[in-house]
Amino acid sequence: MASASQVHAAAQTREKRRVTFGTIQIPETAKRLINQALDTTRISSGRLVRQFEDRFAELVDAPAAVAVSSGTDADILALALLRDYGAKTGDEVITPALSFVATGNAVIHAGFTPVFVDVDRSTLNIDPAQIEAAITPRTRAILAVHLMGKPAEMDAIQAIADRHGLAVVEDAAEAHGATYKGRKVGSLADLGAFSLYVAHIVTTGEGGVITCRTSEQAEILRSLRSHGRACKCKVCTLNTASGYCPKRFDPQSGEDIRFVFERLGYSCKMNELEAAIGLGNLENYQTILDKRRANLRHVLRRFERFAPYLFTIREEPHEQIGPHAIPIVLGERASFSRAELTNYLESNGVETRTLFASMPTQCPGFAHLGYRLGQFPAAEYLGRRGIHIGVHQDLELRDMDYVLEILDEFLETHQD
């Protein structure tokens, strides 16, 4: 091990790089489609949104997809759909304690009660062995999260759901491009919810999309995203050149179907400009995915050298991790703090993010649910000691090597 003075000397001569967390690309196709939409003045949800939905469904091997205004809305609507199949306000949805706060928020905004289950520290995902103990007569669904793009153990989760008659929803916000036992994330459960925020592989700037298995589910989702209205056809003739819809007025009452509301709904449609960005982005999907995957794997294959002071996730033979970011967690033997690590990385040009938190016990917004600190030890540990960094397509392998070098330097000077 080099001395502190040697490490300092090396740092003085090293070229400083900037390793950002995220990026967005708006290709020429997207710009052309945006301008077309602007020229026609048809910028509300229409033709481009439908095209994006069809392309995204094909991408993840799902029968259908419905676009919305955010990944959080995707979670909310995927859960709210359960009301059409008998779920009631206050019923329970099981979900992991560790996730971006949108996961827990979505359960509540859909009208349900989140029931949190601890995670496996090595995978960051819900621990299937702890799920059944959380099931009650009011449980209606399991909302599984593929955190940091690592697929949850879906076979075990689905087996539990089948035994208890529960729906399963994938929160695949960070899992674009992930596969589990040869199947694509987003096609593994009853519904899948993706974020299309700027940091993700497929982006519309803001936005989200729900993948589903049946045309009936897609119709319900289209109704939910537009106030619960009865007008829910995949192709809206009012948005076509003719502007005539034979379904619009009831022949007896003359009631306008656009003002018939079948269910409690939301207002979260995607617009044409966002869909244009998404369609342009999809043209480069495979290139972006391959680049990110190479960056991620480059680091994961070299990370063992930091044990036992730092650890990360592993890609198992049965899966492909969706290359969203690299989680870094302080091991129990680390004598330094997370703040020391993040300050060192940031001061050397490596942008960081906190690895979320235990929603029920480390996020004050969930205090009313009555959970107590200590109930979710793995999630709380990760919430205190985890960060993540980027692997996006504008980074090169030399940037990944730079990150590894900075981590080497940090451990040389901060670990006994």
Question: What is the DSSP track for 357-374?
Answer: EEHHHH-GGGGGG---TT
Verify cis geometry, omega within 30 degrees of 0, for the bond prior to 364.
Answer: no
Query: Which candidate, 157, 158, 144, places its Cα nearest to that of 95?
Result: 144
Query: Which candidate, 366, 362, 387, places its Cα nearest to that of 376?
Result: 362
CB 320, CB 290: distance < 8 Å: no
Q: How far is CA 20 from the centre of its chain?
A: 19
Name the residue with tokens 């099981």: 94
Q: By CB neighbour count within 10 A (0-12 exposed, 13-18 middle, 19+ buried), where does 201 fall?
A: buried
C-alpha triplet 108, 112, 118: angle, nearest 5°: 75
Tell me the C-alpha distance between 108 and 92, whole Å: 10
Tell me the C-alpha distance between 369 and 350, whole Å: 37
Tell me the C-alpha distance between 20 and 392, whole Å: 8
Rg (CA), the chain: 23
Which residues lie below 8 Å from residue 52, measured CB to CB, with a gap of 6+? Answer: 67, 204, 209, 270, 275, 278, 279, 282
Of 200, 298, 324, 388, which residue is the catalytic one?
Answer: 200
Alpha-carbon torsion (89, 228, 191, 151), positive or negative = negative
Helix, strand or coil, per DSSP, at residue 140: strand
Catalytic, 200? Answer: yes
Tell me the C-alpha distance between 152 and 98, whole Å: 13
How far is CA 158 from each of CA 81, 132, 142, 247, rounded to the nearest angstrom?
A: 19, 12, 9, 39
Catalytic residues: 200
